Chains A and B, each alone.
Chain A
């Protein structure tokens, strides 16, 4: 090995594909399957080329039956494999919900650690792509509320690769939500080597002093746009990318809020009973005496994500984020 790492420019799609490829290559217990995940490589091409390279026994198509994709994946995980199963869209993850909440998340506890369920359930999530109903949802709160799971949402190609590798290597089951809106919108130099990013650790993307902004997934890019406006207004923003929703990295979040005294939470899921609510709780429980303004959520409405004609009103725009940042700082 030369000292220098070989890098390639990748999108999130390519980075996840690369992570799956590396794990399929080095670990024969890894199998990848789902609707259209084999021959076609998935509707977003995340698994493109993997069947050809690793064989039809390891990367394959299934019938359209989400409960079975997850339930059989669990059976495989209990008997020595590390399945990575694909559900085609966020809004189509619900038919598998009973398997996730009643079995995947509980087998380790139910069997008193006799059985583990090392599996990854991955699906594209989120709005902003003018899609049909059921194709624009952010169900991270639903999954984060289930004891026994870990929930991961990457925001960059580098993170997508490192977190996916960590998710596959996790002995606990992982829900891996992929921000479809930025699947190809962000290109980044990513190491071709194998690397992983620890689950449960948030990342301070930009240091700042006036206000902490916490976000994840596709909202990171929107926050960064809002920060350009904030900078022009003379506001110093500290931006935190959660990377893992559960276990949530309270320490990084609380440390930042204690420093800035203010927090704005940005997420595209419906606001009530959300991850945003959990972050409000962290602000209050961990940094109550440091708060100089009420914690603020900039989140989706408690509505269904509208179809294309109305979607822009639902989706959180950079100026709306800036609007709340400014109000919070001026409180």
Chain B
């Protein structure tokens, strides 16, 4: 296996990052939080050093994610798309991780990472195409190093670990980001991936988007652990619980994790505490398993409202938000129309990607079907 190679890095910085994981020990159930629900800075020392422009940009990203998300749900309701997993509530996690990823960094997503994927260069058109039932939506034309979404729960954690080994072996300056839900932490692949990551010291940043529910099952029925970050203890990895609805806390932890990994220290596990404001997918009905009161309670922590309050307090937000949302809606709608106008699915698309070197039998199956189509056509 690979040995750790320490690059020359700013020692004080590394020390500070390591301290972050020590200071917020998951065994004591501590949580990293920088602004409160009213947008007030409660942990000035850890506030990431971001200029106003970057903060405004982050807010715009989050606003765009939510607009696109709500529109996706609405397209589905109109019967123009088969399904969609809403990401509403996850915007701070998505913006913060996306903004800390470089073009060469890898993303092994599950399926509730639309915002992160967008910041990596995936387009809403591609997202829409996929949920309209076209695999072409996973052929990300402009996004570098993004794997197709993983629907098989938890399996992407292992792919990320393998990519981590690969980039380290090839001595590439690339980090790997992957994410899982709270439910996914119960899968064996979650533990196997983190165990291997600890031994191999791979440059992978593992995120648990703990949004409180795995479809209908609350996190308390998923584990008896005090939190999910503490699972890192078992694998000898640094772990931390972070307020996933606090953009600044998420930004700070991703920056720290990236520096930690770049310095050759290996992987970290981040539990981002959030709330899935929407349904699991558009086929799900959350009223069956959670209360309105609970939803309202979590609404107070909404990541977009919090960041907005922070900006208002500082007086840095000067744009007309309604106009901005209207502009985003037009953009999203344009992408949706492009997806709807995508070329029709061809018979070739069913077959041509199964193998690099297509077996004769598969060619025969296709040609048999073509003969059937010719017969069918002749009967018209």
| A residues apposed to B, CB below 8 Å | 31, 56-58, 60-63, 65, 67-68, 70-81, 83, 95, 98-99, 102-103, 107-116, 147-148, 150, 170-172, 200, 246-248, 250-251
Contact = CB atoms under 8 A, between A and B. Distances in A.
Nearest to B2: A57
B161 A72 contact: yes
Using C-beta atoms within 8 Å of the partner chain, give the interface range for chain B. 35 or more
Contacts of B108: 75
A73 B136 contact: no
A95 B158 CA distance: 14
Interface in B58-96: none
A57 B360 CA distance: 38
B14 interface: no
A78 B147 contact: yes
Contact of A248 (B138, B189, B361): B361
B135 A172 contact: no
* Secondary structure call for the A interface: mixed
B211 to A, nearest CB: 23
22 contacts: A57-B169, A60-B1, A63-B192, A68-B192, A71-B157, A72-B159, A73-B162, A76-B165, A78-B147, A102-B152, A108-B355, A108-B356, A109-B135, A109-B353, A109-B354, A114-B148, A115-B148, A150-B355, A172-B356, A247-B361, A248-B361, A251-B360
Contacts, number: 150
Interface of B: 1-2, 106, 108, 135-136, 138-140, 145, 147-148, 150, 152, 155, 157-167, 169-170, 188-189, 192-193, 195-196, 199, 352-357, 359-362
B146 to A, nearest CB: 9
B166 A80 contact: yes
Nearest to A66: B192
Contact of B162 (A60, A74, A95): A74
B129 to A, nearest CB: 11
A78 B1 CA distance: 19
A77 B193 CA distance: 16
A101 to B, nearest CB: 9
Contacts of B2: 57
Given A99-B155, A112-B353, A68 B193 contact: yes
A58 B169 CA distance: 9
A98 B164 CA distance: 21
B138 A72 contact: no
A112 B136 contact: yes
Nearest to A65: B192
A274 B359 CA distance: 20
B359 A200 contact: yes
Contacts of B199: 63
Contact of B359 (A65, A112, A116, A247): A247
A170 B357 CA distance: 8
A215 B263 CA distance: 54
Contacts of A108: 353-356
A206 B158 CA distance: 46
A230 B352 CA distance: 45
Contact of A75 (B1, B162, B353): B162
B155 A71 contact: yes
Nearest to A247: B359
Nearest to A81: B166
Contact of B196 (A72, A103, A171): A72
A71 B353 contact: no
Closest 7 CB pairs of A and B: A75-B162, A71-B158, A247-B359, A72-B162, A68-B192, A112-B139, A171-B356
Contact of B139 (A83, A107, A111, A251): A111
